[in-house]
Amino acid sequence: MFSDFPLLSLVIWLPIIGGLLVLAAGKNDVLVRWLALLFSSLTFLASLPLYTGFDNGTYRMQFVEEASWVPTFNINYSLGIDGISMPLILLTTFTTVLVVIAGWEVIQRRVSQYMAAFLIMEGLMVGVFCALDAVLFYVFWEFMLLPMFLIIGIWGGQRRVYAALKFFLYTFLGSVLLLVAILYLYFQSDSFSILDFHDMQIGMNAQIALFFAFLIAFAVKVPMWPVHTWLPDAHVEAPTGGSVILAAIMLKLGAYGFVRFMLPITPDASHELDWLIILLSLIAVVYIALVALVQEDMKKLIAYSSISHMGFVTLGFFVVFNIFDKTNSVAGAAMGVEGALVQMISHGFVSGALFLCVGVMYDRMHSRNISDYGGVVHTMPVFSALMVFFAMANAGLPGTSGFVGEFMVILAAFKANFWVAVLASTTLVLGAAYTLWMVKRVIFGKVANPQVAELKDLNAREALVLGSLAVMVLLLGLWPAPLIDVMHASVGHLLEQAVSSKL
């Protein structure tokens, strides 16, 4: 029923147009907020048919749109989604609504620019997830840096300028290499279509060069150890909304790049060098978790925990080659990739929620230091219940969404290699350690600080935001089947591509 309607374009451009309108509304803060809420909600509603109208049975791109853009270089405005990108688009539209609500009273300075930046970002992020033309992908991918740069730099904390520049230059360096890789593929195939890239024959040396270009571009965004250092700075200095979007969606863009570009375009190089990614992922899982343990700053702790969790995602993507070598079937390997994808969605909810929790406390106390808190449960019981719940999800408690993804990836890792699985499993211990220890020091204990004694519990707005996230975390944890069904066919096709040689 939606086959002719340009639904994807609507979901991309509606928030961008909304953002421009919000900018035009200018100084009238009340109008700005309601406009932003209106457009983000409309976008969310517009994105729902992507789920209801989605055909689970095929791996082919759906809701496809195609138009010529720059004929000289054969660049097309071509959009389409499969089971991998569709859930991420819904995550984006859902999170943006929450971010708009979360910034309602908190942001008092240049409200219209703040809201506009988030709305425009939303459109651009959706654009990245559905672009099927490499240049279109790159344009969305790169342009997104600018609003985020402004968000961190204008509304951020003390060292915001340093963090904003670091964020921008790190990711820009990564993405220009992606551009060269795309141009090389264009030179070989005379097309910028990502699907054409998937079908190309590429020699091993070229594949390895492309592999490293992709790796640098996407690893910075994920971020993987050792190029992760921009993330803690950016997270700590960004305003709450910025942190949420960064953690919930922008990190997923890097992981999405791995499945859209790296595995299908350079399968042989990925097969050859999968040990490298597995190694980097394990370092992220174990070492970064240890780093998280010693953080004094709550936002920094959650930022490091994000890196550690994203290590699981990349691990899930790249254990498949080992499983395939051992079992010679892609069926067993599918669990790794599906686990990683579930982990991406779940991490979007959980890390977003945790950053919002920190934001709630920060708005009241203007401190992110763990040592300034203690005994919050005595004054904010509802908030504390929710925060403990999200902390449990972050630690991977069964019944929450955090468990599903991690469990699937660890199971897949056991099929691949026992020791990899053992190292990956340490996250269950370490993750619990750093999260619960933080919760213990912040939420429980005696009321150490007179300011804590005067805290007020959640207002309706905050309760709505955190409550809806809690529902999603619980729902996904108890009944992940709808999500996994959606991605099954696409993951199967992805693995077919990943294990068939292109030499």
Partner 1 sequence: MNFEMPNFALALPEIFVLCMACIVLLADLFIGERNRFITYLMAQATLVGAMVLTLGLSSSEVQYTFGGSFVRDTMGDVLKAFIYLSTLIVFVYSRDYMRARQLFNGEYFVLGLFGVLGMMVMVSAHSLLTLYLGLELLSLCLYAMVALQRDSIAATEAAMKYFVLGSLASGMLLYGMSMLYGVTGSLDIGEIGAYVAQNVGHNLVLAFAVVFVVVGLAFKLGAVPFHMWAPDVYHGASTNVTIYIGTAPKIAAFAMVMRLLVDGLGGLHVEWQGMLVMLAILSMAIGNIIAIAQSNLKRMLAYSTIAHVGFLLVGVLAGTENGYASAMFYIIIYALMGLGGFGMIMLLSRAGFEADRLEDFKGLNERSPWFAFIMMILMISMAGIPVSAGFWAKLAVLQAVVRADMVWLAVVAVIFSVIGAFYYLRIVKLMYFDKPEDTAPIEPAFDMRIVLSANGLAVLALGIFPGALSVLCVEAMK
- The residue range among 43-51, 177-185, 409-417, 483-491 that interacts with partner 1, by the rule CB under 8 A, is 177-185
Binding residue for partner 1, selected from 183, 290, 432, 489, defined by CB under 8 A: 183
For residue 398, the 8-state DSSP code is T
Using rule CB under 8 A, residue 272 touches partner 1: no
Please provide the DSSP assignment of 314-369 as one string: HHHHHSHHHHHHHHS-HHHHHHHHHHHHHHHHHHHHHHHHHHHHHHHHHHHHS--B
CB of 112 to partner 1, least distance (A): 9
Distance of CA 171 to the CA centre of its chain: 15
Number of residues lying near partner 1 (CB under 8 A): 34
- The residue range among 64-72, 315-323, 421-429, 456-464 that interacts with partner 1, by the rule CB under 8 A, is 64-72
Using rule CB under 8 A, residue 179 touches partner 1: yes
Do residues 462 and 361 make contact, with C-beta atoms less than 8 angstroms apart? no
Q: Which two tokens stand for residue 274?
A: 């999968």
Using rule CB under 8 A, residue 218 touches partner 1: no
Binding residue for partner 1, selected from 172, 275, 419, 479, defined by CB under 8 A: 172
Q: Which two tokens stand for residue 85?
A: 């990108």
Q: What angle do CA 342, 346, 348 make, to 5 degrees?
A: 120
CB of 406 to partner 1, least distance (A): 36
Using rule CB under 8 A, residue 139 touches partner 1: yes
Helix (H) / strand (E) containing 446 = none
Please, which contacts does 70-74 make with residues 24 or more away whose CB atoms are closer than 8 Å? 70/135, 73/135, 73/186, 73/192, 74/186, 74/190, 74/191, 74/192
N residues, the chain: 503
Q: Which two tokens stand for residue 463?
A: 């309760």
Using rule CB under 8 A, residue 145 touches partner 1: yes
Binding residue for partner 1, selected from 160, 260, 299, 347, defined by CB under 8 A: 160
Binding residue for partner 1, selected from 48, 161, 331, 385, defined by CB under 8 A: 161
Q: What angle do CA 87, 93, 96 make, to 5 degrees?
A: 135
Using rule CB under 8 A, residue 70 touches partner 1: yes
Using rule CB under 8 A, residue 149 touches partner 1: yes
Binding residue for partner 1, selected from 168, 214, 258, 318, defined by CB under 8 A: 168
Using rule CB under 8 A, residue 180 touches partner 1: yes
Q: What angle do CA 114, 135, 70 make, to 5 degrees?
A: 105
Q: Which two tokens stand for residue 467?
A: 């409550």
Using rule CB under 8 A, residue 123 touches partner 1: no
Using rule CB under 8 A, residue 143 touches partner 1: yes
Give the residue with the Cβ less far from partner 1, 149 or 256: 149
Using rule CB under 8 A, residue 447 touches partner 1: no
Using rule CB under 8 A, residue 146 touches partner 1: yes
Helix (H) / strand (E) containing 77 = strand 75-81
Give the residue with the Cβ less far from partner 1, 217 or 387: 217
Give the residue with the Cβ less far from partner 1, 192 or 355: 192
Q: Which residues bind partner 1 (CB under 8 A)?
A: 68-73, 113, 135, 138-139, 142-143, 145-146, 149-150, 153-154, 160-161, 164-165, 168-169, 172-173, 176-177, 179-180, 183-184, 186-187
